[in-house]
Amino acid sequence: MNWKRSAVAAAVAAPFIVLLAWGLTKDPREIPSPLPGRQAPEFALEVFIPGEGAHARNVGDTVSLAALRGKVVVLNFWASWCLECVTEHQDLSLAARQLAGKPVQFVGVLYNDVKDAGRQWVAQRGGEAYPALDDPGARAAIDYGLYGVPETFVIDPSGKIAYKHTGPIWAGLLTAKVDSILAAATPAASGPKGE
Amino acid sequence: MTALPPLRRARWLRLAGILLVGASLPAQQPRSADPAGRAAPALPDSVVEARTTALAGSLRCPVCQGLSIQDSPSELAQQMRALIKSQVAEGKSDAEVRGYFLSKYGEFILLEPRARGFNLLAYLLPAAILALGGVIVALNVRRWTRPSGGAGAQTGGSSPGA
């Protein structure tokens, strides 16, 4: 009689234990984003830091995603109050310079910050190789499902989000991603007639 | 007041009720006068505010721990609330507003998971456990209340009070 009761108790408890054990294998901090693979939300934001070289834009101009079709767009959300943004700052500029000859546009979007604080932050770090845009009301940030800064999105030439990176990114990863997107886009563009 | 006949007192109460409801909804007034004029009638502020509050209460603040957008003092949550408000004012339905946030943040943004797929477990398990408990209690009660001469009485310890 007793072993029967134990067997029933075990049979009831086992699924719960399996369920909890499965829960332990998941990273509670990882939040899957529905955005990669989808069309990137459009934005049209004003430039407040011009940037340098191939990526430069005039202060006061509007940069819109629609106008960047055909290019890979690296969209980085940052803020002057963000500590981890300091870590990735040099790497972003480095990657932007390395990719300057290719159809790539880097843009930074200021998140919940004052433009003056952003300008000062960039100046203190010896400038930035790409323009910074202002996002009043964080509308673009919410459109991109932002959880915090830094977050970086790589958008392919057709306007789809190819990659999303949460936390500080590094130059090697970024250039590899952009290069692989460009490599995939080039044969696709000439593929139908070429091969 | 106690001297009033019952019928009159009932009318009095009804009148008081109507007055109270009327006083609490002053902003509803212009709405009923308005809609015929425009193709998309502007919602009165009180309705927009109430719907915004309800929607913001059902969505999770992404930068907090288990707080709704409505309850969070964070800047992002307040900006999200402002966005909800403007979408409601534009005439979007509750489902459309929720759908917008769902498409940006995924299932995570909903404080209450949708009852489908794996999530169903959260809805069905408590009911299943409750039902199982009910069955166990019913079986035991039947055993305990069985007449002492019955077949089940010999299983020791289950009916010490009898």
Domains delineated in chain A: 44-194 (3.40.30.10)
Question: Can you tell me the distance from the alpha carbon of A78 to that of A76, in angstroms, rounded to the nearest whole number?
Answer: 6
Q: Which of A32, A41, A139 sits opposite B106 (nearest CB)?
A: A32
* pLDDT mean over A108-126: 95
> Is the pLDDT score of A26 beyond 90?
no
User: Which residues fall within 8 angstroms of residue B91, CB to CB, at 6 or more apart?
Assistant: B40, B43
Task: Look at A145 and B83 and tell me if their CB atoms are within 8 Å.
Answer: no
The shortest C-alpha distance from A147 to chain B (Å) reads 6
Please give the single-letter amino acid code of residue A94. L
Task: Look at B83 and A137 and tell me if their CB atoms are within 8 Å.
Answer: yes
pLDDT recorded at residue A101? 92
Outline where DSSP puts E strands in chain A: 44-49, 62-64, 72-78, 104-110, 132-134, 151-155, 161-166
CA A114 → CA A48, A136, B134, B135, B157, distances in Å? 11, 10, 60, 63, 75
Is the separation of the CB atoms in B96 and A181 below 8 Å? no
- The mean pLDDT of chain B is 77
Residues in chain B closer than 8 A to A41 (CB atoms): 104
Band (pLDDT 50/70/90 cuts) for residue B153 is very low
> Is the pLDDT score of B156 beyond 70?
no
Band (pLDDT 50/70/90 cuts) for residue A38 is very high
Task: Look at A142 and B83 and tell me if their CB atoms are within 8 Å.
Answer: yes
Residues in chain B closer than 8 A to A114 (CB atoms): none
Question: Can you tell me the distance from the alpha carbon of B134 to that of B35, in angstroms, rounded to the nearest whole number?
Answer: 53
Percent of residues, chain A, with pLDDT higher than 90:
80
> Is the pLDDT score of B94 beyond 90?
yes
pLDDT recorded at residue A1? 60
pLDDT recorded at residue B114? 87
Can you read off the two tokens belonging to residue A95? 């990657």
Can you say whether the dihedral through the CA atoms of A176, A177, A181, A187 is positive or negative? Answer: positive
> Is the pLDDT score of B18 beyond 70?
no
Cis amide linkage into residue B160, ω under 30° from 0? no
**More confident: B117 or A102:** A102
Percent of residues, chain A, with pLDDT higher than 70:
95
pLDDT recorded at residue A55? 94
Sheet holding A44-49, edge to edge: A62-64, A44-49, A132-134, A104-110, A72-78, A151-155, A161-166
Task: Look at B79 and A35 and tell me if their CB atoms are within 8 Å.
Answer: no
* pLDDT mean over A135-141: 94
Question: Can you tell me the distance from the alpha carbon of A147 to that of B154, in angstroms, rounded to the nearest whole number?
Answer: 65
User: Cα-Cα-Cα-Cα dihedral of A164, A170, A173, A176, to 10°?
Assistant: 110
The shortest C-alpha distance from B23 to chain A (Å) reads 35
Can you read off the two tokens belonging to residue A158? 């057709």
Question: Can you tell me the distance from the alpha carbon of B19 to that of B160, in angstroms, rounded to the nearest whole number?
Answer: 64
Question: Can you tell me the distance from the alpha carbon of A186 to that of A121, in angstroms, rounded to the nearest whole number?
Answer: 37
